[in-house]
Amino acid sequence: MVISAFELQTNRLPRAVTSTQQQDDYASFLPTSETCPHPRITAKEVMTVALRLKTMLDTIIPIEIKDTRVTRPGGATVITPEVQDLALEAADGDKKACIIYALLTCKQWFRHLELQELYDADLNALKAMACEVIAKRLIEREEDQDFLFKQMLCRRFSIVINGEATDARNALEYAIDLHALTVIGSSGFQKCITWMWQGWIIQSPYNPTEYISYKSVAVADFWTHYDADRIKTPLYQNALQLLFSIVYLVFYTIAVNTANPGGEFDAVEGILYVFTVGFVFDEFVKFYHIGFYYFSFWSCFNDTLYAILIVSFVLRLVALGNPPDSAGRETYDVLAYRVLAFCAPLMWSRLLLYLDMQKFFGAMLVVLKELMKESAVFFVLLIIIVVGFLQAFIGLDTADGALDVGQRSFSYMTRTVLASPEFEAFEEFAPPFAALLNYIFTFVVTVILLNILIALFNSAYEKVYDNAVDEFLALFAQKTLRFVRAPDENVFVAPLNLIEIFGLILPFEWWMPKRMYARLNDVVMTAVYSPILFAVAFYEAYVAKKILRNRAIGESDDDTRQDWEDLEGELDLDRTGWLDRVKAVAPHVETEPGVWEINELRKQVSELTEIVKALRHEIRQKSRKSDDGGDTETLIDIGPSESSSGDESSKKQPKKSEPPE
């Protein structure tokens, strides 16, 4: 019998008979972080923590300094361990869970001041960077992984603005929205994102805004993982989207290369347009739930593709509305196929959206997005200049009462922008004004504007590739949360969403009880995804065996056994003294050599000072004892004097007999 994840969380039923799983089931009766409620942290308390942190940062960074003193660990850094401890003390009591959210809030405040107070832009940017550095250090020093994932990163908080609490969000969403690369690139943050990507951290069935651990992650039973709820895992959603995109591309390729002479629809075209309708409905649903924040480069790219395909579909319908073998039917049919072929570059480029999990493609997509942003400045300048010169050419042409050359001026100017200027066309046109304007326009576009565009592209490329790894990690985290923050509880990947819309929502949702409707969704999803669920169950059962092996040797669930670890456990490098020898010659790379030597000298002076203090104390104690006993003996014996030594020696030596006279 298949048991859903919801029933597992509700009833806590054992799903396997292995001894390890039985221990896990018995452990579930003990109080955990998921069964015991955590103390509530109000929006006002979070605001208080954020204000304390802002005051701390304003104090420790009062003037502009080098950014390396903030970002570099050790040495003459500003973010010392004492500063990190003080930041934790800002979240006094049981408010430690909101410390990362509060630091990101401070970062947003400083970024706002950076744009508002231009005279202190560099200083506020430095403080915003310090917020990220402190957050990263606190994430990496947190030893309780369960608390880090579910409370510090996944728990939702809000602050108070104008007497009202803001919309709640967690630190994961906040960091991605702020594009905080330093926080996103931290090890704990990425580990949490990876666990979400693999479905080891899931949304709570009781409250979708909270996150819990997937209880059956270490269960090696096949039927335990044969559950339609596992399709919500971002890894499987991405795989399904890639699969359907490849199928979509195959049908498009067949349709665009097999034109029907009579203009009728065939099965391939029908499936192509059904896929398109499913994708369009998916876009509408996301826009309805998210709003204008949903629009991005790829959403606009996909919407453009779907719009062209819909235009082609409408033209095909218009062609079918004409009589067979008529000129109108042939004309609209040819036009429809030409429009369909026109979107081929967009259709193939769409695959890049699902290849961004590879580092090379992911970094290139980030570069492309930045280039498009930077080119906006170029196109604004270009439009203004083109409109000005175009008006001049049209004015010169209409001076004689006829508009003949001005109609072709725009095409000539377009060629100039594309580095193919035309000079002969303006030689006989309104001399010498048209030729002079053409020369000026060519100089401004080819020499000034195009070089500005190249410089902007170069700066954008360098900015992204200097942080290529962090940019890729940010892209990966953004994609993971895009799947997790999906508005639909029942995941029907487009074009399967048409089954949900026309087979479930319209006929059943409006009258069926909620519990029965949820059960019907589970049955339909299990039937629709049955081939995929077999692959998912096999894969998760295989991963569960690796997790059990890691737990047996005391390693983390996601640990991967390396080649050198087999023999490393048999060697006791500490007993042989090898580690001490390595530490003796290891350079201190975290600090500057001069700073390290000064610190070592300070330690030696401090130790010498303590020794002198202890010696003085001992001398005073002996002096007091000698005064009490009446003994005038000196405290420090510096040896007998020459005179006294001579007298004593003369007394001890017998007198020699004098010789007789």
Confirm whether 534 is domain-assigned.
no
Show the 3-state SS of 594-630. HHHHHHHHHHHHHHHHHHHHHHHHHHHHHHHHHHHHC
375, 344: one domain: no
Q: Containing domain of residue 603, as a range?
A: 564-622
- Which of 494, 487, 73 has its CA nearest to residue 302? 494
**Which of 354, 383, 398 corresponds to the end of one domain?**
354
How many whole angstroms separate alpha carbon 561 and alpha carbon 570? 15
How many whole angstroms separate alpha carbon 4 and alpha carbon 475? 32
**Looking at residue 402, what is its pLDDT?**
59
How many whole angstroms separate alpha carbon 532 and alpha carbon 172? 29
Confirm whether 493 is domain-assigned.
no
Provide the 10 A C-beta neighbour count for residue 418.
9
51, 149: one domain: yes
3-state helix, strand, coil in the chain (%, to 5): 70, 0, 30
For 535, phi then psi, to 5°, come to: -65, -40
**Looking at residue 430, what is its pLDDT?**
65
**Which of 307, 336, 354 corresponds to the end of one domain?**
354
- 335 in Cβ contact with 315 (< 8 Å): yes
**Concatenated DSSP letters of 239-258:** HHHHHHHHHHHHHHHHHHHS
- 46 in Cβ contact with 102 (< 8 Å): yes
CA angle 477, 483, 488 (to 5 degrees): 155
- 544 in Cβ contact with 218 (< 8 Å): yes
Cis previous bond, 432, omega within 30: yes
Confirm whether 48 is domain-assigned.
yes
How many whole angstroms separate alpha carbon 416 and alpha carbon 411? 9
How many whole angstroms separate alpha carbon 554 and alpha carbon 551? 5
- Which of 134, 135, 129, 128 has its CA nearest to residue 110? 128
Look up residue 351 and give its two tokens: 């695959």
How many whole angstroms separate alpha carbon 129 and alpha carbon 180? 9
How many whole angstroms separate alpha carbon 530 and alpha carbon 228? 8
Provide the 10 A C-beta neighbour count for residue 189.
28
Its pTM stands at 0.76
Look up residue 486 and give its two tokens: 């999906």
**Looking at residue 660, what is its pLDDT?**
45
How many whole angstroms separate alpha carbon 105 and alpha carbon 178? 10
49, 182: one domain: yes
The alpha carbon of residue 512 and the mean position of all alpha carbons in its chain are separated, in whole angstroms, by 40
385, 468: one domain: yes
Confirm whether 287 is domain-assigned.
yes
- Which of 383, 238, 354, 365 has its CA nearest to residue 297? 365
Look up residue 580 and give its two tokens: 């001490």
Cis previous bond, 495, omega within 30: yes
Residue type (1 letter), 289: H
> What are the residue ranges in the chain where pLDDT is below 70?
1-38, 74-76, 399-407, 424-428, 430, 486-488, 563-570, 574, 588-596, 628-661
**Looking at residue 361, what is its pLDDT?**
79
80, 196: one domain: yes
- 147 in Cβ contact with 33 (< 8 Å): yes
Provide the 10 A C-beta neighbour count for residue 604.
10
How many whole angstroms separate alpha carbon 273 and alpha carbon 34? 46
**Which of 323, 354, 385 corresponds to the end of one domain?**
354
The b-or-e profile of 105-131 (16+ CB within 10 A means b, else e) is bbbbbbbebbeeeeeeeebbbbbbbbb
Q: Using N-to-C axis directions, what is the helix angle for 297-320 and 359-398, rounded to 10°?
A: 70
181, 269: one domain: no
Burial class of residue 337, CB neighbours in 10 A (0-12, 13-18, 19+): buried
**Looking at residue 5, what is its pLDDT?**
35
Cα→Cα distances 354→76, 239, 242, 298, 488, Å: 44, 9, 6, 11, 21
**How far is it between the farthest Cα atoms of the chain?**
172
CA dihedral 370→372→373→374, nearest 10 degrees, is 90
- Residue 560: which residues within 8 A CB-CB, separation 6 or more? none
- 228 in Cβ contact with 558 (< 8 Å): no
Confirm whether 50 is domain-assigned.
yes
Provide the 10 A C-beta neighbour count for residue 68.
10
364, 279: one domain: no
75, 194: one domain: yes
417, 458: one domain: yes
Among residues of the chain, what percentage have pLDDT more than 90? 18
306, 349: one domain: yes
102, 188: one domain: yes
Q: Domain tally for the chain?
A: 4
Confirm whether 399 is domain-assigned.
yes
375, 437: one domain: yes
Classify residue 168 by its DSSP letter. P
**Looking at residue 31, what is its pLDDT?**
39
Confirm whether 153 is domain-assigned.
yes
Confirm whether 454 is domain-assigned.
yes
- 488 in Cβ contact with 390 (< 8 Å): no
